[in-house]
């Protein structure tokens, strides 16, 4: 009786497995660069109901960002948020609370673009009280504490009601710059 086929069978299986392993390694290592080089914008991870907090060197909260849904994209390191809520804190300047329908966070969180029914409430902890800003688009640069838009905006406070074609708000300097088509009604605080 000839036993040679019995020896070749396990070797054939090992050879087929080795060939499949080599093919799988090739397929996995070449698919990612191919996808990115073709310019596809595909989410590499998705997060539901999350919160991110940034603190200063003393451990005090500088800002927090909440969202219902986030999709991160590896090709440009951006994150798309659904129902974002950003709260920027400053003991001396008050808080800025921003909500919108969605937002786009640029690479490394340097800028957050709030899109769709944006509402910003800035509480300055003074006699003027809170200031509410409503627009359809707002850029926020958290590290610089600057917010701006080139879209129509409505600003309402305790003693003021303004509309404008755009604005820039610096939370550090407390300077609000309104651009084109500005209309304001101001009632002095008594």
Give the separation between CA 100 and CA 137, rounded to whole angstroms.
Answer: 9
The predicted model gives 155-176 an average pLDDT of 87
Burial of 160 (0-12, 13-18, 19+ CB in 10 A): middle
The predicted model gives 165-170 an average pLDDT of 90
Fold of the 43-186 domain: lipopolysaccharide transport protein A fold (2.60.450)
Would you state the pLDDT for residue 34?
44
Q: Higher model confidence: residue 64 or residue 37? A: 64
The predicted model gives 51-56 an average pLDDT of 86
* pLDDT above 70 for 1: no
pLDDT digits (tens, 9 = 90+) for 129-143: 788 999 999 998 877
Would you state the pLDDT for residue 160?
86
The predicted model gives 69-74 an average pLDDT of 89
Q: For residue 120, what are the contacts with CB-CB under 8 A and spacing of at least 6?
A: 96, 97, 98, 132, 133, 134, 138, 147, 169
Q: Give the domain ranges of the chain.
A: 1-40, 43-186
């Amino acid at each position: 009786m000839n036993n040679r086929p019995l020896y070749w069978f396990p070797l054939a299986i090992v050879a087929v497995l080795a060939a499949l392993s080599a093919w799988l390694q090739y397929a996995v290592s070449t698919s990612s660069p191919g996808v990115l080089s073709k310019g596809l914008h595909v989410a590499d991870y998705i997060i539901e109901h999350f919160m991110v907090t940034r603190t200063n060197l003393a451990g005090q909260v500088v800002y927090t960002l909440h969202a219902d849904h986030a999709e991160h994209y590896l090709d440009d390191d951006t994150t798309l948020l659904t129902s974002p809520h950003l709260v920027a804190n400053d003991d001396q300047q008050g808080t800025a609370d921003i909500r919108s329908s969605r937002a786009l966070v640029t690479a490394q969180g340097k800028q957050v673009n709030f899109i769709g029914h944006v509402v910003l409430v800035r509480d300055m902890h003074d006699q003027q009280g809170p200031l509410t800003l409503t627009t359809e688009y707002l850029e926020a640069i958290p590290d610089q504490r600057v917010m701006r838009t080139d879209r129509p905006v409505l600003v309402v406070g305790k003693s003021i009601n303004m509309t404008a074609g755009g604005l820039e708000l610096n939370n550090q300097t407390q300077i609000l710059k309104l651009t084109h088509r500005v209309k304001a009604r101001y009632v002095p605080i008594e």
